[in-house]
């Protein structure tokens, strides 16, 4: 599988659909995803929902003015190039190629399995002060038509500037089917997707890691996931064994260094 250079016009042709969506339709369909994002996001975040009939922003989060140079009304109905202009110039080509690969994977994967594939993209975007900072772009859920084609996507964008890690342009694909993660990474200078020799991490372990990096302790994680304290501790023990780490701090450092979330 290759990360191929894709022009903006080629991506638009790939992603454009016939059915037009209203803002209320977008918000109604993705309501649960918006609520879940508030609970599980690992940092300050905002979201976009495209209307793919015209490749424009169909809906966006009310706090977008706090996360970008533009307000809610300025983002609505803007086309794909407007979003690109909010990205670092050096990251735009990589972002378009990554979005195209995401569409390709979605269209070539069985519908019942596609939601088990998590795609994460690391690039730089402008903040509200017109400074570039690293963000994580994720696609937690998609809306499909009767033929299984994507009509719209809930796009979650998380600010990573509160983390001390040095990031780079990267794409990771995590296949959670059969409780296994197959992780790939791609730098802009190396357009082949390279399989990383990383441990298989179950969906539950991934949920625990996401809560750990938010600073939750074992009792809080147990309450959040409705499991016992001992179950959480067992998962943590297994995670340390899989990652060959001895402490929680070492485990979290391993997570960030290898982009596991």
pLDDT band at 55 (very low <50, low <70, confident <90, very high): confident
Checking if the pLDDT of 112 tops 80, the result is no
| Beta-strand pair 170-175/117-126 | antiparallel
Determine whether domain 203-257 maps to CATH 3.40.50.670: no
pLDDT band at 27 (very low <50, low <70, confident <90, very high): confident
12-16, 24-28, 182-186, 197-201 — which one is most confidently predicted on average?
A: 24-28
Same fold, 8-195 and 203-257: no
pLDDT of residue 248: 83
Quick one: CA torsion of 173, 123, 98, 53, rounded to 10 degrees?
120
pLDDT of residue 181: 57
Other C-beta atoms closer than 10 Å to the C-beta of 185 total 19
Considering only CA atoms, which of 60, 146, 170, 148 is closest in space to residue 103? 148
Superfamily of domain 8-195: PAS domain (3.30.450.20)
Residue that wins the pLDDT comparison between 236 and 255? 236
Are 26 and 49 spatial neighbours (Cβ–Cβ below 8 Å)?
Answer: yes
3-state secondary structure of 59: strand
Are 19 and 26 spatial neighbours (Cβ–Cβ below 8 Å)?
Answer: no
Q: How many CA atoms lie within 13 A of 152 on its CB side?
A: 25
Quickly list H helices, 68-120: 72-75, 80-85, 92-107, 111-114
pLDDT of residue 115: 65
Identify the DSSP state of 91.
Answer: G
pLDDT of residue 158: 94
What mean pLDDT comes out for the span 75-97?
Answer: 89
What mean pLDDT comes out for the span 123-143?
Answer: 91
CA pair distance 76, 245, nearest whole angstrom: 46
Quick one: CA torsion of 77, 5, 137, 57, rounded to 10 degrees?
10
pLDDT of residue 233: 93
The DSSP H or E segment spanning 161 is: none
Checking if the pLDDT of 67 tops 80, the result is yes
pLDDT of residue 165: 67
The burial of 70, by beta-carbon neighbours within 10 Å (0-12 exposed, 13-18 middle, 19 or more buried), is given as middle
This prediction's pTM: 0.70
pLDDT band at 128 (very low <50, low <70, confident <90, very high): very high
Choice among 1-5, 104-108, 207-211 with the minimum mean pLDDT: 1-5
Residue that wins the pLDDT comparison between 13 and 87? 87
Domain boundaries, the chain: 8-195, 203-257
Checking if the pLDDT of 231 tops 90, the result is yes
Average pLDDT value for the chain: 81
pLDDT of residue 127: 94
Are 100 and 10 spatial neighbours (Cβ–Cβ below 8 Å)?
Answer: yes
CA pair distance 232, 48, nearest whole angstrom: 33
């Amino acid at each position: 599988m290759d990360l191929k250079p894709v022009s903006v016009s080629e991506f638009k042709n790939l992603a454009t659909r016939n059915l037009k969506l209203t803002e209320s339709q977008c918000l109604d369909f993705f309501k649960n995803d918006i609520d879940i994002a508030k609970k599980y996001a690992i940092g300050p975040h905002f979201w976009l929902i495209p209307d793919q009939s015209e490749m424009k922003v169909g809906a966006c989060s009310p706090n977008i003015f706090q996360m970008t140079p533009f307000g809610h009304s300025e983002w609505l109905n803007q086309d794909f190039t407007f979003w690109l202009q909010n990205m670092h110039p050096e990251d735009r080509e990589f972002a378009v190629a990554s979005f195209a690969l995401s569409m390709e994977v979605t269209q070539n994967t069985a519908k019942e399995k596609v939601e088990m594939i998590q795609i994460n993209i690391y690039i730089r975007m402008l903040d509200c002060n017109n400074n570039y900072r690293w963000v994580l772009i994720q696609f937690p859920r998609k809306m499909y038509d009767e033929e299984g084609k994507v009509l719209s996507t809930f796009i979650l964008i998380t600010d990573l500037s509160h983390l001390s890690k040095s990031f780079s342009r990267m794409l990771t694909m995590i296949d959670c089917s059969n409780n296994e993660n197959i992780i790939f990474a791609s730098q802009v200078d190396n357009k082949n997707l390279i399989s990383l020799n990383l441990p298989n991490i179950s969906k539950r372990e991934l949920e625990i890691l996401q809560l750990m990096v938010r600073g939750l302790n074992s009792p809080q994680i147990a309450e959040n996931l409705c499991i016992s304290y001992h179950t959480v501790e067992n998962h943590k023990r297994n995670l340390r064994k899989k990652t060959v780490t001895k402490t929680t701090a070492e485990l979290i450092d391993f997570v960030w260094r290898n982009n596991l979330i």
